[in-house]
Structure 1
């Protein structure tokens, strides 16, 4: 049997990929790098942070302190660590961690991701756990676990024909149960964010913050294009049940005001937070709802510091804080 640790459980380190001149961050590279430095520095106050980068010496120069920071050289296509990094499970029979290296295709072939897809196998020696290559297209931002048998996802992403067209819903459920050891798959059929390239990743919409609680994006503006879809998603969340037949406790996060760059609406979402040991890194956007989101998280995340980080630059590339990070459970060590 396998066990899929939840993000709110104890961690060993967080991995991120630093922006480089050959990435899509090039037009505002220094602005993007400043944001990544802030994220890595915040993580390092609580636990180690492994930074994948094209030039270690240059990237090191951006940090005033290297405490709890580790660097490994590899040039990726882009910087969305959540979706091209391995996913960690625990093999309960062997009592050891196992790293699952799924196939990453740039969210269904939208972008070149060949180097991103090869990253984990190249970095395998950096991880203190065996790695298994999995012949399934899957991104980390597309699934959420509550550490108690349930996996939450969206049909728009996992059943999209641009991912695994040979699998129907039942076939995908069987794959997820096999690889992650979960008992049930909870599907959301509604909910999206304008400007999102991922086909509605769950980590932009609804997140487990403990075994019983889901935090989700709620839109109260009836004139907003997202109102109907997010209202239907909220109704679906209310109908979900855990493996014991109990409803989940739901906590609503506000919807950001419409945010644009180059006349394109951006997927600004407070649900794209990162839970780490002792803290939650919360993306904010210089939006009127920032203070409300911070207050909600301070109340909901008992015993964890709330660390707001301005991620306005990240959403220009259609992702946010959770999308550029990947946490590893305490059972996985770093080799260096």
Structure 2
């Protein structure tokens, strides 16, 4: 039987982060996105925290990345190739002790954004981390799953059962695949993800394990939150679930960022749930509402009291479709 994937709060030997490298994709948001990722990397590499392996995806971006982090302890700049920075989805999922990692097929989130080199990222990370890869012949993105370290996996039907990934999958087939590849003992199924999320409802924007038997999920914040009904349904569904060990799931409600609009006045999938649990810290993305962010940090401190809770802006990264969790992947110790 495959050993379950460790929980994110388990110790890490390293943390991979993608560096915004492609001006043609980020356009006017390239410099602001690089500034936000630099702040994230410096927070992660604080004393006693992470070895950050910063994957740079293009030759032209390499010298600048090396210059920014020259002399910063705990940052290793890695020359690589990717379509974009979403390593949570394109990279491998590391198993216990990072003795091996699981690699999956990647099809650009159901064919929406198929970029050169994204389908090689898992191979590159496996080689650079000296981790043998177990390859699985189905499509899966790491952001579609969340793990409690004891064999419970949280996901959404909107993504995992979407015919644009694995057309023949049912819940039973998906559960068998996750048991074989990632040690799933029980899969908790939520429904839809956030409005206008091009990942088709990744769970790392919606609900996250923060302790065994405890799942953080958003509650609507302010007027006109476009995901109010989705959040209410997630909390209701979770309150009726148990984990692989038979514990009833306890819900930790945390404020959403509220209504966040892009330059065309269209709601975008901003989420505090895209926080990153690191050695000694939790990094929380913020989107302009400091009161909501502060309440999220206070809530996370109640379940992760041994970590510093750090909030950092992520609006420029969000313009590309995700946040801190989306651009990272941990190597368990």
How does the TM-score come out when normalised to structure 1? 0.92
User: Paired residue for 1:334?
Assistant: none
Deviations 1:55-85 (A, max 9, x none): 4322111235331111111121111111111
How many aligned residue pairs are there? 325
**1:88 paired to 2:83:** no
Deviation at 1:298, TM superposition (A): 2.2
Three-state SS of the structure 2 residue aligned to 1:322 is: coil
Q: 1:23 to 1:146 in 2, by over 3 A?
A: farther
Three-state SS of the structure 2 residue aligned to 1:7 is: coil
In 1, the alpha carbon distance for the partners of 2:95 and 2:83 equals 26
User: Paired residue for 1:333?
Assistant: none
User: Paired residue for 1:257?
Assistant: 258
Deviation at 1:152, TM superposition (A): 0.8
**1:206 paired to 2:212:** no
User: Paired residue for 1:241?
Assistant: 242
Alignment check: 8 A CA contact 2:155 2:190 kept: yes
Deviation at 1:120, TM superposition (A): 2.2
Alignment check: 8 A CA contact 1:214 1:251 kept: yes
After TM superposition, list the pairs within 5 Å mapping 1:243-322 onto structure 2: 243-263=244-264, 264-287=266-289, 288-322=291-325
The list of structure 1 runs, each at least 4 consecutive aligned residues, that deviate by more than 6 angstroms after superposition, is none
Deviation at 1:23, TM superposition (A): 5.0
In 1, the alpha carbon distance for the partners of 2:221 and 2:293 equals 15
After TM superposition, list the pairs within 5 Å mapping 1:4-83 onto structure 2: 4-45=5-46, 46-53=49-56, 54-55=58-59, 56-63=62-69, 65-83=71-89
Q: CA-atom RMSD, angstroms?
A: 1.7
User: Paired residue for 2:112?
Assistant: 110
Three-state SS of the structure 2 residue aligned to 1:39 is: helix
In 2, the alpha carbon distance for the partners of 1:218 and 1:290 equals 13
Alignment check: 8 A CA contact 1:104 1:113 kept: no
Alignment check: 8 A CA contact 2:92 2:122 kept: yes
Deviation at 1:223, TM superposition (A): 4.7
Three-state SS of the structure 1 residue aligned to 2:172 is: helix
In the alignment, structure 2 segments of 5+ residues that lack a partner are: none
In 2, the alpha carbon distance for the partners of 1:114 and 1:240 equals 40
How does the TM-score come out when normalised to structure 2? 0.93
